[in-house]
A and B are shown apart, each in its own frame.
Chain A
Amino acid sequence: MLVIKDLKVSIDGLEILKGIDLEVKAGEVHAIMGPNGSGKSTLASILAGRDIFNVDSGSVTFNGEDLLEKSPEERAKDGLFLGFQYPIEIPGVSMVNFLKTAINEMRKHRGQQPLSASEFLKKMREKKDLVEIDSSLTSRSVNEGFSGGEKKKNEIFQMAMLEPKLAILDETDSGLDIDALKVVAKGVNNLKSPDNATIVITHYQRLLDYIIPDYVHVLYKGRIVRSGGKELALMLEEKGYDWVRNEEVKL
Chain B
Amino acid sequence: MQNEQDQILNDVTTGEYKYGFYTDIEQDTIGRGLSEDVIRQISQIKKEPEFMLEFRLRAYRHWLTMKMPEWAHLNIPAIDYQDLTYYSAPRQKARLNSLDEVDPELLDTFNKLGIPLEEQKQLSGVAVDAVMDSVSVKTTFRENLAELGIIFCSFSDAVKEYPDLVRKYMGSVVPYTDNYFAALNSAVFSDGSFCYIPKGVRCPMELSTYFRINAANSGQFERTLIVAEDNSYVSYMEGCTAPMRDENQLHAAIVEIIAMESAEVKYATVQNWYPGNKEGKGGIYNFVTKRGICKGDNSKISWTQVETGSAITWKYPSCILKGNNTTGEFYSVAVTNNHQQADTGTKMIHIGKNSKSIIVSKGISSGVSNNSYRGLVKVLRGADNARNFSQCDSLLLGDKCGAHTFPYIESGNQTAIIEHEATTSRIGEDQIFYCNQRGINTEDAIGLIVNGYAKEVLNKLPMEFAVEAQKLLQISLEGSVG
CA distance A115 to B452 in the complex (A): 22
Question: Hey, which chain B residues are within 8 Å of A49, CB to CB?
Answer: 436-437
Question: Hey, which chain A residues are within 8 Å of B4, CB to CB?
Answer: 51
Which residues in chain A, 5-28, are within 8 Å of chain B measured between CB atoms? none
A101-B448 in contact (CB<8A): yes
A87-B434 in contact (CB<8A): yes
B453-A71 in contact (CB<8A): no
Which residues in chain B, 1-34, are within 8 Å of chain A measured between CB atoms? 1, 4
Q: Let me know if A37 is at the binding interface, CB within 8 A.
A: no
A105-B439 in contact (CB<8A): yes
Q: Let me know if A217 is at the binding interface, CB within 8 A.
A: no
CA distance A82 to B442 in the complex (A): 17
Question: Hey, which chain A residues are within 8 Å of B439, CB to CB?
Answer: 73, 76-77, 102, 105-106, 109, 162
B1-A105 in contact (CB<8A): no
B448-A52 in contact (CB<8A): no
Question: Hey, which chain B residues are within 8 Å of A72, CB to CB?
Answer: 433, 436-437
B437-A92 in contact (CB<8A): no
Q: Mark B427-440, 1 if CB is under 8 A from A, else 0.
A: 01011011111111
Residue of A nearest to B455 (CB): A92
Residue of B nearest to A48 (CB): B437
Question: Hey, which chain A residues are within 8 Å of B35, CB to CB?
Answer: none
Minimum distance in angstroms from A151 CB to a CB of chain B: 11
CA distance A6 to B430 in the complex (A): 28
Question: Hey, which chain A residues are within 8 Å of B456, CB to CB?
Answer: 92
B440-A73 in contact (CB<8A): yes
Question: Hey, which chain A residues are within 8 Å of B437, CB to CB?
Answer: 48-49, 72-73, 75-76, 81-82, 84
Minimum distance in angstroms from A78 CB to a CB of chain B: 9
Q: Let me know if A123 is at the binding interface, CB within 8 A.
A: no
Determine which residue in B438, B441, B449, B453 has the highest number of CB atoms from chain A within 10 A of its CB, and name it: B438
Task: Tell me if B's interface is mostly helix, strand, loop or mixed.
Answer: helix
B431-A90 in contact (CB<8A): yes
Which residues in chain A, 60-104, are within 8 Å of chain B measured between CB atoms? 71-73, 75-77, 81-82, 84, 87-93, 97-99, 101-102
Q: Let me know if A158 is at the binding interface, CB within 8 A.
A: yes
CA distance A158 to B433 in the complex (A): 15
A88-B434 CB under 8 A given contacts A52-B1, A101-B440, A109-B439: yes
CA distance A48 to B437 in the complex (A): 7
Minimum distance in angstroms from B106 CB to a CB of chain A: 38
Question: Hey, which chain B residues are within 8 Å of A206, CB to CB?
Answer: none
Minimum distance in angstroms from A79 CB to a CB of chain B: 10
A76-B438 in contact (CB<8A): yes
Interface range, B side:
20 to 34
Question: Hey, which chain A residues are within 8 Å of B448, CB to CB?
Answer: 90, 93, 97-98, 101
Q: Mark A22-62, 1 if CB is under 8 A from B, else 0.
A: 00000000000000000000000000111110000000000
Q: Let me know if B454 is at the binding interface, CB within 8 A.
A: yes
Residue of B nearest to A81 (CB): B437
CA distance A84 to B448 in the complex (A): 20
Q: Let me know if B118 is at the binding interface, CB within 8 A.
A: no
Residue of B nearest to A74 (CB): B439
Minimum distance in angstroms from B178 CB to a CB of chain A: 36
Q: Let me know if A227 is at the binding interface, CB within 8 A.
A: no
A90-B441 CB under 8 A given contacts A72-B436, A73-B436: no
Question: Hey, which chain A residues are within 8 Å of B455, CB to CB?
Answer: 92-93
Question: Hey, which chain A residues are within 8 Å of B430, CB to CB?
Answer: 88
A73-B441 CB under 8 A given contacts A88-B434, A93-B452: yes
A98-B438 in contact (CB<8A): yes
Q: Let me know if B385 is at the binding interface, CB within 8 A.
A: no
CA distance A82 to B448 in the complex (A): 20
Q: Let me know if A141 is at the binding interface, CB within 8 A.
A: yes
B453-A105 in contact (CB<8A): no
Question: Hey, which chain B residues are within 8 Å of A91, CB to CB?
Answer: 452-453
Interface contacts beyond A48-B437, A92-B453: sample of 6 additional A-B pairs, CB < 8 Å, sorted by A: A72-B436, A89-B431, A91-B452, A92-B456, A105-B439, A158-B438
A-B contact pairs, 23 of them (CB 8 A): A72-B437, A73-B436, A73-B441, A75-B437, A76-B437, A76-B438, A77-B439, A88-B428, A88-B431, A88-B433, A90-B431, A90-B434, A91-B452, A92-B454, A92-B455, A92-B456, A93-B448, A93-B452, A93-B455, A97-B448, A98-B448, A101-B448, A102-B439
List of 4 A-B pairs having minimum Cβ-Cβ separation, nearest first: A92-B452, A93-B452, A72-B436, A76-B439
